[in-house]
Chains A and B, each alone.
Chain A
């Protein structure tokens, strides 16, 4: 892993009125890294991620994504990232192929690129039979895998995944993580928020947010050692128990 920074965050803060959703956080993510962003509901994970995606302007602090500033260069950031949100984000009334074509098209990919890569992706996902079926007819796990493939179809530098495996069965979650590893191996930086602590173990590094602040940040192994815990689950419980904010 080289030392090129994909994301740098420096004293980033987001306030909504009197409420500080993200409180002065700083961290860096290296290129090709799988960076896990953990925290209870309402800890500020999604708000932080939205600022990095250019969807929300920070109240103070600095951050760059793929080398671009989150205040002034949001359009450039958007060209260089992929995003997959909590909510399922493909069009259910379009077919698998049409969804791929649409998202690739709006990222400015050429017809030839789209055509060639669509074949590869559909084959990788074993969706050959479903390629011309409406997305709404697919099971949830397949949809999520497809959504991830669509999010990285245009070969972004960084992909943001906001609780991508919510409601997905363990087997499909495992397959989903295989896709994430494959993407990381091609040099895509993966920034992922999750509730599942077994998934946290798959990350190169994790950071745990409590009440809008970063409470711990390290590799899963180091965190377990520091907290004298057997699993990430224990680490998380020990840290998250300190939270003052209630579940939103």
Chain B
């Protein structure tokens, strides 16, 4: 155990002497957390709409002002020619076209119905879908208002009316940042664990000091622990900094106990450090290690449910997310931070992560050869 103390002393000295690593560790969480949640925002605002108004009636104007007042749409163009609106779409100035036919108001009052035409530029599928849905709900709402104001109700309502009242739990303002920030924290911790640790070990291979270590009486497990413990500590520190930043800048205060988060993170870090170690045993230069880590992290992030919902992935992709440790931590972070889940709620994820940690580290230790 005394050797381990000397190894740890050396590692910490080297880490704190290397200013570029320190910068990565402390600046990365700050920048990522300050920039990413704003950019990676799925709430659709600023949808450009072109309105073709053939009617020019008070109703058509009312409808248009309702649309622009919703905050989701920017009235890009107000025209009375369909051809003009097509030009807008072709030039990418507009995402949506709403065509209000002539005699819109007249039909609505006299015949109790009127038709509207909506065309969507579906190149950006998400934007098109959401934009269309928003627009339709605004029109429905408008429709309801008109009817209640102007149209005589029959004695009983001929159509069954089911009124759905929804309340958004856990994230009542549907703030996308509440959803993103805990996920980004997970990516940060993952980077420190796998990236930095594997680079550190491979560096010793590259400069040849590992040979010297191999002829000393240091045991495999001591060397491995000496490498893992510092990055384990750093990972937890980065998580702490990240939680601080998300509280300071986004007002996100974990609904659940911080000990649950850190307890899970402690095991999670063991798993990703095992992965980092594994990468280092299969590579001999820092370049190789970097490329492999980069490749894996891309997949982990895309298949981890950070940006895209796992539930809407095809079955095979959902299977892949099950062997991705990032998935579980993102899930747990969101559960604890937003829902206030306790240890009992995340027990399954915790056990699975323990399994990951054991398999990855076991594999890494087996393939780390002290003699070759």
Residues of A within 8 A of B17 (CB): 93-94
CB atoms of B6 and A106 under 8 A apart:
yes
Q: Does B217 contact A (CB under 8 A)?
A: yes
Q: Is the CB of B6 within 8 A of A57?
A: no
Please list 9 pairs of residues, one from A and one from B, whose beta carbons are closer than 8 Å in the complex, sorted by A's number. Answer: A54-B215, A55-B211, A57-B371, A83-B215, A89-B209, A89-B211, A89-B212, A91-B14, A93-B18
Which residues of A42-75 have CB atoms within 8 Å of chain B's CB atoms?
53-57, 74-75
Mark interface residues in B2-32 (1 if CB within 8 Å of A CB, else 0): 1101110110011001100000000000000
The bracket for how many chain A residues form the interface is: 20 to 34
Contact B3 A83 (CB under 8 A): no
10 tightest A-B CB contacts, nearest first: A105-B6, A87-B208, A89-B212, A83-B215, A106-B3, A79-B217, A78-B217, A102-B10, A53-B215, A106-B216
CA distance A42 to B3 in the complex (A): 35
Q: Which of A57, A94, A103 contacts B216 (CB 8 A)?
A: A103
Cβ contact within 8 Å between A98 and B209: no
B218 and A85 contacting across the interface, CB-CB below 8 Å: no
A94–B16 Cα gap in the complex (Å)? Answer: 11
Contact between B212 and A83 (Cβ–Cβ < 8 Å)? yes
**Assuming the A-B contacts A93-B17, A98-B10, A106-B6, are A85 and B211 also in contact, with contact meaning beta carbons closer than 8 angstroms in the complex?**
yes
**B214 on the interface (CB 8 Å rule)?**
yes
Give the Cβ gap from A89 to chain B, nearest Cβ, in Å: 4
A148-167, CB under 8 A of B: which get 1 and which 0? 00000000000010000000
User: Beyond the given A78-B215, A93-B18, A102-B6, could you list 14 further A-B residue pairs with CB under 8 A, ordered by the A residue number?
Assistant: A53-B215, A55-B372, A56-B371, A75-B219, A81-B215, A89-B208, A89-B209, A89-B212, A93-B14, A94-B17, A103-B216, A105-B2, A105-B9, A106-B6
Tell me the residues in window 68-115 of chain A with beta carbons closer than 8 Å to chain B beta carbons.
74-75, 78-79, 81, 83, 85, 87-94, 98, 101-103, 105-108
Contacts of B218 in A (CB 8 A): 106
**Chain B nearest Cβ from A141, distance in angstroms:** 18
B35 on interface, CB distance cutoff 8 Å: no
What's the least CB distance linking A48 to chain B, in Å? 15
Residues of the B chain whose Cβ atoms lie less than 8 Å from the Cβ of A89: 208-209, 211-212
Q: What B residues does A108 contact at CB under 8 A?
A: 2-3, 217
Q: Please, how many angstroms separate the alpha-carbon atoms of A98 and B7 in the complex? A: 11
B207 adjacent to chain A (CB < 8 Å): yes
In B185-234, the 8 Å CB interface with A consists of: 207-209, 211-219
Indicate if the CB atoms of A54 and B207 lie closer than 8 Å. Answer: no
Asked whether, in the complex, the Cβ of B211 is within 8 Å of the Cβ of A87, the reply is yes
Q: Contacting B13 at CB < 8 Å: which of A88, A94, A160?
A: A94
- Closest beta carbon of chain A to B266's beta carbon, Å: 27
Interchain nearest-CB distance for B261 vs A (Å)? 34
Which residues of B are found within 8 Å of A107, using beta-carbon distances? Answer: 216-217
Q: Provide the residues of chain B in CB contact with A91, threshold 8 Å.
A: 10, 14, 209
Q: How far is the CB of A98 from chain B (nearest CB, A)?
A: 6
B211, A75: Cβ atoms under 8 Å? no
Closest B residue to A82 using CB positions: B215
Known contacts A57-B371, A108-B217, A98 near B212 by CB under 8 Å: no
Q: Cβ of A87: which chain B residues have Cβ within 8 Å of it?
A: 207-208, 211
- From residue 49 to 106 of chain B, which have CB atoms closer than 8 A to chain A? none
Please, how many angstroms separate the alpha-carbon atoms of A94 and B14 in the complex?
7
B77, chain A: closest CB distance, angstroms = 62
Does the CB pair B212–A85 fall under 8 Å?
yes
Q: Closest A residue to B223 by CB, please name it.
A: A106
Given the complex, which residues of A lie within 8 Å of B372, measured CB to CB? 55-56
C-alpha spacing A52/B159, complex, angstroms: 93
Q: Are A88's CB and B371's CB within 8 A?
A: no
Q: Which residues of A contact B208 (CB under 8 A)?
A: 85, 87-89
Specify which chain A residues have a CB less than 8 angstroms from the CB of B18 in the assembled complex. 93
In the docked arrangement, what's the CA distance between A173 and B149, Å?
103
Are B217 and A75 neighbours in the complex by a CB distance under 8 Å?
Answer: yes
Of B3, B217, B372, chain A has the most CB atoms within 10 Å of the CB of B217
* B211 in contact with A94 (CB, 8 Å): no
